[in-house]
Amino acid sequence: MENLAENRTAYTDLEPATDIPNENHYYLNMGPQHPSTHGVLRVLLEMDGEYVVDPQPVLGYGHRMQEKMAEHKNWMAFMPNTGRMDYAAALPYNHGYVALFERLCGIEVPARAEYIRVITSELNRIVSHHLWIGAMLLDMGAFTPILYTFDDREQVLDILEDVTGSRLTYCYFRVGGVCKDIDDKFVEKTRAFIKRQRERFDIYNKLVTGNIIFIKRTEGVGVISPDMARRYGVTGPVLRGSGIAYDVRKNEPYSVYPNFDFEIPVGRNGDSYDRYMVRLLEIEQSLRIIEQALDQLPEGSFLGKAPKKMKMPTGDCSFSVEAARGELTYYLVSGGGDIPYRLKIRVPSYSNLSVLPELCQGMLLSDLVAAMGSMDLVIPEIDR
């Protein structure tokens, strides 16, 4: 029993039980059940009054051993799990996983399937940014914008539900294509959504972008310098907010992204406001991609020939996609057969979170919420 007790202290040694270095400092647990962490993230804060001295994220509350599960299942059986890591934008996760096997086994994908993948993935990215804008403002105390963004989000979810059959945790892509074709109704509804969304930007700008309270709470808060972003391996809109134009869709193009004309929005100061602007501009860029993809949409089959029982060749393979939160990489080591030997998933939120202790030192507690909110963390993705 004593041994057991000793082992337990090893797990909880992050908890400062007795020796508080400065007697004026105190510790505050933000989470694991906290509305602004959007999941079971716990941040242990060493506080000096209202100021944060040392924030330390504590992970593992929602750990489900996704990578281990992949080592025990046939490759197709892991497919539904990919949609459950980043539930706010599941389709890029689907995309990375199937593309990994297509690269490993050299499977051809029909052009139509690639276009459908890009269109649905971009719609999913928009959905994710809608959710983020609403949720971040909710963290900062503004309740109204989430009602507007969710109204828009609902439009996209209806479109995606019609083709994928689910609203959140998609399992839509298959090795060699997608499992259901899109029809004219989908195209029509998506075009109507693009038109509607472009009109809604005006409302976003009036409600949020130009709002004095929002500007005061985010401008100059949580400044990530390009150097700091590089050191921590920050990706996605957080990286682009710091002024580094890195986007997997441009820098390491996959699928049919080279066929489209789009820009990578970047910020100037690397503060929370810039990260907000980058995401808002990304919605517009995603709309542009969807518009072009719908115009170019080729006819043909939506599901290529993929062997039912797929045997993987021995070796390793990796595939990166641009998920809504940044670069997502699947790395697979195969020892032959149909069960991976090892599947490593490099998720964007994990590296984005790692910047938190350095970023939020000396901040006000309320600013920490704004800075952490602007990272767009999805906890099940970190604790996968």
Partner 1 sequence: MNNRGYFGELWFGAKSLLIGLNVTIKELFRPIVTVQYPREECEITPNYRGHVELVFNTETGGCDCIVCGMCAKACPSDCLVVKGEKKEGEKRKSLTLFSLDFTKCSLCGSCVETCPKGALDYSQDYNIAGFTREEFHYDLIERLERRHQQPLAAAAGGN
Helix (H, G, I), strand (E, B) or coil at 242: coil
Helix (H, G, I), strand (E, B) or coil at 251: helix
Confirm if 302 and 274 have CB atoms less than 8 A apart: no
Task: Record the tokens describing residue 376, joined without a space.
Answer: 């767009």
* Interface with partner 1, residue 4, by CB under 8 A: no
The distance of closest approach from Cβ of residue 266 to partner 1 in the complex, given in angstroms and rounded to an integer, is 19
In the set 111, 203, 294, 297, which binds partner 1 (CB under 8 A)? 203
Of 20 and 213, which CB lies nearer to partner 1 in the complex structure? 213
Burial of 145 (0-12, 13-18, 19+ CB in 10 A): buried
* Interface with partner 1, residue 165, by CB under 8 A: yes
| First-to-last C-alpha distance (Å) of the chain | 31
* Interface with partner 1, residue 269, by CB under 8 A: no
How far is the C-alpha of 355 from the C-alpha of 57, rounded, in Å?
A: 10
* Interface with partner 1, residue 79, by CB under 8 A: yes
Sign of CA dihedral 73, 76, 80, 84: positive
* Interface with partner 1, residue 362, by CB under 8 A: no
Cis amide linkage into residue 32, ω under 30° from 0: yes
In the set 73, 191, 288, 344, which binds partner 1 (CB under 8 A)? 73
Among 23-31, 119-127, 203-211, 315-323, the segment contacting partner 1 (CB under 8 A): 203-211
In the set 8, 206, 230, 231, which binds partner 1 (CB under 8 A)? 206
User: How many Cβ atoms sit within 10 Å of the Cβ of residue 43?
Assistant: 23
Residue with tokens 């790692």: 354
In the set 65, 215, 296, 362, which binds partner 1 (CB under 8 A)? 215
Please give the size of the binding site for partner 1, defined by CB under 8 A.
32
- H/E stretch holding 330: strand 326-334
Of 79 and 136, which CB lies nearer to partner 1 in the complex structure? 79
* Interface with partner 1, residue 168, by CB under 8 A: no
In the set 30, 38, 78, 257, which binds partner 1 (CB under 8 A)? 78
How far is the C-alpha of 47 from the C-alpha of 26, rounded, in Å?
A: 5
- Which residues of this protein are in contact with partner 1, per CB under 8 A? 73, 76-81, 84, 144, 151, 154, 158, 161-166, 169, 171, 179-180, 203, 206-207, 210-213, 215, 219, 308
